Structure 1
Amino acid sequence: MTATLETSVARSTSDTAVALSGVSKVFGHGSSAVAALDGVDLRVKPGEFVCLLGASGCGKSTLLNLVAGLDSPTAGSIELSTSRPAVMFQEPALMPWLTASRNVELALRFAGVGRADRRRQAGELLELVRLGDVAGKRPHELSGGMRQRVALARSLASTLASGDAPGLLLMDEPFAALDAITRDVLQAELLRVWETTNTAIIFVTHDVREAVRLGQRVVLLSSRPGRVVREWSVDGVTDSVAVLDEINTHLREVISGHAS
């Protein structure tokens, strides 16, 4: 069954979902200080799908945490057109004692949505991720891929609940722990859900193929401290092999620099 999402989402007149200007982040003080990000400028449009690539430890997850409001930048500014960005991690982090439906409802409850509307919207979102028939099951009764789809529905519930601006979804390698077949299925599902909801997405991955398949734009961060060093527009590319080769070449250079 294909769901029609009835949740009211007003489209902002702003041409920016999130804008980072000169964002830097330093952990610690004095000689023990570690610079994670340095002067990052990044702008994501409403409904745009942007993938972040870079070596391990280059600050990709730190950047997501700053955008999510889980931490504050040391310097620079972050402007959002939505007050409720949602974060989806590698682990689904579902409440094991709650059903799939109640896990989704929990995000809506925190957003102040009334009980009747919570149930309706949770049902719509589970239908959207093709899990309407397992709404009453608990996480241990679901496969790993199903649990991640419940987590996706919950994240969408959180970011769409504000209703006064386009949604913003921050995804930190959400499919990395899954097998190749399940990952391929969920990538296709994510694209379908993204096209349905027009939610802006910042997606962190180490997989260049995943970035090119999913993103409209691929942004490469340098080794620590992370800076934006290259960007590629990959929306509708006809020669994906050439783009993959070019991105892989620059990513290897970044990783080599990180290791030296």
Structure 2
Amino acid sequence: MTAMLHPSSVTSHNTAVRLAGVHKRFGGSRDTVVALEGVDLRVAPGEFVCLLGASGCGKTTLLNLVAGLDKPSAGDITLTTSRPAVMFQEAALMPWLTASRNVELALRLAGMRRSERRERTAELLDLVRLGGLGDRRPHELSGGMRQRVALARALASTTAGSENGTPALLLMDEPFSALDAITRDVLQGELLRVWRSTNTAVLFVTHDVREAVRLGQRVVLLSSRPGRVVREWAVDGLSGAEEAEIIEEINSGLREVISSHAAA
């Protein structure tokens, strides 16, 4: 079976990204590691989907495949969005550039004119509540502020390619895991605000069940390696009692896949 990565020229009204029978293997014939096996997943335009699973189950590998940073060993990945932007655990900002220049760099690489870049950069920094701080360099910002700049830069990457009406896609790999609890809580709320205002599709990797339920419209659980989709939950618009029940149910499922991973 051959692997195919379909570009954004494929059109669909109800799919931002679709994975069909995706496999990913690393290594040679003697030391092959199967990271993903037969993954089927669809994210709709503007949908917020959270991925959960045991460490090493292939969550980051899946994001890398969707981002085009690696190729699947088999299966199809269909994108109907602009080029996805990726946000990692670390902000990964250019230390010699100001916050504004870090954001503007994504727009420059997309070929946007200088005057438009500066205007769009100011809009994005305002959106993440960093208006007036564009001249600061990364070392002058707190960890939470640096992640806000990284979010603005990721949004710049997605929106620069989606000006023709193509949906945007943001891939997030545990972006708040290195932050303290209070900063993390604030940025979760900020991310939801930004997501609602931009209608960007989000595929968000986390180990935190409460974070997944708070942020996502849908939570997808991967099995232990090789990663497969074993269960999904719709978590949008839950009442307090329903949310507590779903969290316990997801925790139970996560404990099962972690136990199977430890026993393997």
TM-score class, shorter-chain normalisation, is: over 0.9
CA distance in 2, matches of 1:115, 1:223: 47
> Counterpart of 2:212 in structure 1: which amino acid?
A
Alignment of 1:98-109 (within 5 A): 98-109=97-108
Q: Does 1:61 align with 2:64?
A: no
- Where do 5+ consecutive residues of structure 1 fail to align? 1-11
CA contact (8 A) 2:20 2:76 kept: yes
The answer on 1:169 being equivalent to 2:170 is yes
CA contact (8 A) 2:84 2:158 kept: yes
Structure 1: distance between partners of 2:238 and 2:248: 13
Structure 2: state its 5+ residue gaps. Answer: 1-10
Q: Which residue in the other structure is 1:247 paired with?
A: 250
Query: What residue number does 1:123 align with?
Result: 122
Aligned Cα RMSD in Å?
A: 0.8
Tell me the residue number matched to 2:75: 76
2-structure distance, mates of 1:112, 1:78: 26
Number of residue pairs aligned between Structure 1 and Structure 2: 249
Tell me how far apart the structure 1 counterparts of residues 77 and 219 of structure 2 sit (CA, whole Å).
Answer: 20
Give the whole-Å Cα distance in 2 for the aligned partners of 1:160 and 1:13.
19
Q: Distance in 2 between matches of 1:68 and 1:168?
A: 9
- The letter of the residue matching 2:102 is N
**Aligned letter for 1:108?**
L
Q: Is the CA contact (8 Å cut-off) linking 2:82 and 2:167 kept in structure 1? A: no
1:245 partner letter: E
Q: Confirm or deny: 8 A CA contact 2:95 2:137 kept in the other structure.
A: yes
Q: CA deviation at 1:98?
A: 0.6
Amino acid at match of 1:197: T
Q: Residue type matched to 2:231 in 1?
A: R
CA distance, structure 1, for counterparts of residue 179 and residue 160 of structure 2? 28
Secondary structure, counterpart of 2:126 in structure 1:
helix
Mapped to 2, the partners of 1:133 and 1:247 lie a distance apart of: 41
Shift, 1:13, TM fit: 5.9
Cα distance between partner residues in 1 of 2:86 and 2:243? 29
The residue identity in structure 1 corresponding to 2:27 is G
Name the amino acid aligned to 1:252.
Answer: R
Q: Which residue of 2 aligns with 1:141?
A: 140
- Report the CA distance between 1:44 and its aligned residue: 0.2
What is the CA–CA distance in structure 1 between the aligned matches of 2:44 and 2:12, rounded to whole Å? 11
Structure 2 partner of 1:97? 96
Counterpart secondary structure, 1:52 = strand
Q: In structure 2, how many angstroms separate the alpha carbons of the residues matched to 1:14 and 1:241? A: 33
* CA deviation after TM superposition for structure 1 residue 83, in Å: 3.2
Write the distance in 2 (CA, Å) between the matches of 1:236 and 1:31: 48
CA–CA separation in structure 1 for the residues paired with 2:96 and 2:117: 18
Partners of 1:248 and 1:36 in 2: CA distance: 22
Amino acid at match of 2:251: N
- 1:1-260 map, 5 Å: 14-162=13-161, 163-164=163-164, 165-238=166-239, 239-260=242-263
How high is the TM-score relative to the length of structure 2?
0.93
- Secondary structure of residue in 1 paired with 2:104: helix
Q: Distance in 1 between matches of 2:214 and 2:174?
A: 14
TM-score after normalising by structure 1: 0.95
Return the alpha-carbon distance in structure 2 between the equivalents of residues 71 and 228 of structure 1. Answer: 20
SS in 2 for 1:112: coil
Q: C-alpha distance in 1, partners of 2:53/2:62?
A: 12
SS of equivalent residue, structure 1 residue 133: coil
Distance 2:190 2:184 in 1: 10
Question: 1:167 is aligned with what amino acid?
Answer: A
Aligned amino acid, residue 219 of structure 1: V
Amino acid at match of 1:209: R
Q: Which moved more, 1:62-71 or 1:161-170?
A: 161-170
